[in-house]
Chain A
Amino acid sequence: MRLAPGGEARPAVFLDAGVRTAGSARFEGEGVWVTEGELTRALGYHLSAGGLCLGDRCFPIADRSALTQGGRVELRGVARATERPIVIDADLAVVSLGVAAPERRERLASRRAPELTLPDLDGAPRSLAALRGRKVMLLAFASW
């Protein structure tokens, strides 16, 4: 069992597959604790009888007492339960959760083109979805 989280929460940044949300967290040793409300607000997960859930999908929790204490949730445990990679930089107060490799492969293998909306040179939003009904060759280039 993990020690109960103590100390004050401090401003933190959550990166959910790169998507940035500002919030607060307690950085305790190797772990990071957030309130259940913050977990939902920043990362979309909620706790239920079925485990740790994101929308309709729930991940079983092997040891609930190690994951949650006193209304707070430990994010390394969240990463373990969901098989997601996690990077914690306590000095920077940043938590980055990547996409699980199996999930990413599943998305790619589905062959569904992801919904993307990006600005054009004039700043107008352009989406892949708007091109439905036409063949599309998407070319990614970079000036690095």
Chain B
Amino acid sequence: MLDPERVVAEAFAMINVPTVVWIDEDGRVVRAPDVAFASDAFIGFHGVESAPHTAALRRWVTTGVLPDDSPDDGVHRAPSHEEQLARAHLAVAREAHRRGEEVVVRWHIARAAALAPDDWTIRRGTMPWLGVDPMTSDEFVALFAEWSEAGRKYYR
């Protein structure tokens, strides 16, 4: 499924990818959105092992047993007013991007990033709107360094 308007991130309050959500047969979220990888190909970069999630997923599918690492209220992170305001700025930035108003795009993205500094869907996800390579550019390297030097987990 393609999601150019990023409705999945909005609906599930995702702040990075890859993020997985488990949904049962009744349409109930049984494991809150969280990072998971299918392999350890980039483990040196992100430090998240794939095996625990893969094993838990297999157990759930085959036996119905859920892991106990999902929060009781289904929410790993409660979005704050500031984060919601950031998303409102992001929507304006997207509109400005459609119109080719680069200065306006840059201003609203800066506001959104200041309000939601942990949200990579804003900070990394909007780099292409500014003509910045989100994979190898100096801007991305600087963002990753800022994160790492602060001792924070990359994906949460």
Q: Which residues of A contact B (CB under 8 A)?
A: 13, 15, 17-18, 20, 84-87, 89, 91-92, 94, 96-101, 104-105, 108-114, 116, 118-121, 126, 128-129, 131-142, 144
Complex contacts, A98 vs chain B, CB 8 Å? 84-85, 87-88, 91
Q: Which residue of A lies closest to B10 (CB)?
A: A18
Least CB separation from B30: chain A residue: A111
User: Whole-angstrom distance from the CB of A123 to the nearest CB of chain B?
Assistant: 9
A126 to B12, CA, bound (A): 17
With both chains docked as a complex, state the minimum distance between the C-beta of A130 and any C-beta of chain B, in angstroms.
Answer: 11
Q: What are 7 A-B pairs at a CB distance below 8 A?
A: A87-B108, A89-B92, A99-B87, A105-B79, A133-B25, A140-B9, A144-B124
Interface residues of B (CB under 8 A from A): 1-3, 5, 7-14, 17-30, 32, 36, 57, 60-61, 73-75, 78-81, 83-85, 87-89, 91-92, 94-96, 99, 101, 104, 108, 121, 124-125, 127-128, 134-135
Distance, CA A144 to CA B124, complexed state (A) = 7
Q: A113-B29, A126-B1 are in contact. Are A141 and B13 (CB under 8 A)?
A: no
Cα–Cα distance between A100 and B89 once the two chains are bound (Å): 14
State in angstroms the CA–CA spacing of A85 and B108 once bound together. 14
CB pair A116 B87 closer than 8 Å: no
Contact of A132 among B25, B78, B84 (CB under 8 A): B25
Closest to B21 in A: A138
The distance in angstroms between the C-alpha atoms of A129 and B23, with both chains bound, is 11
Q: Which residues of B contact A116 (CB under 8 A)?
A: 7-8, 11
* A135-B27 Cα distance, complex, nearest whole Å: 9
A120/B2 contact (C-beta < 8 A), A101-B79, A135-B60, A137-B21 known: yes
On chain B, the residues within 8 Å of A139 by CB distance are 18-20, 36
**B11 contacts across to A, CB distance below 8 A:** 114, 116
Chain B residue nearest in CB terms to A123: B2
- Contact A87 B20, CB 8 Å, known A101-B79, A128-B27, A140-B14: no
Q: How far is the CA of A142 from the CA of B20 in the complex (A)?
A: 12
Top 8 A-B residue pairs of the complex, sorted by shortest distance between their CB atoms: A98-B88, A144-B134, A85-B85, A118-B1, A136-B23, A114-B11, A96-B88, A15-B91
Q: Taking the nearest CB of chain B, how far is it from the CB of A93, in angstroms?
A: 10
CB distance from A112 to the nearest CB of B (A): 7
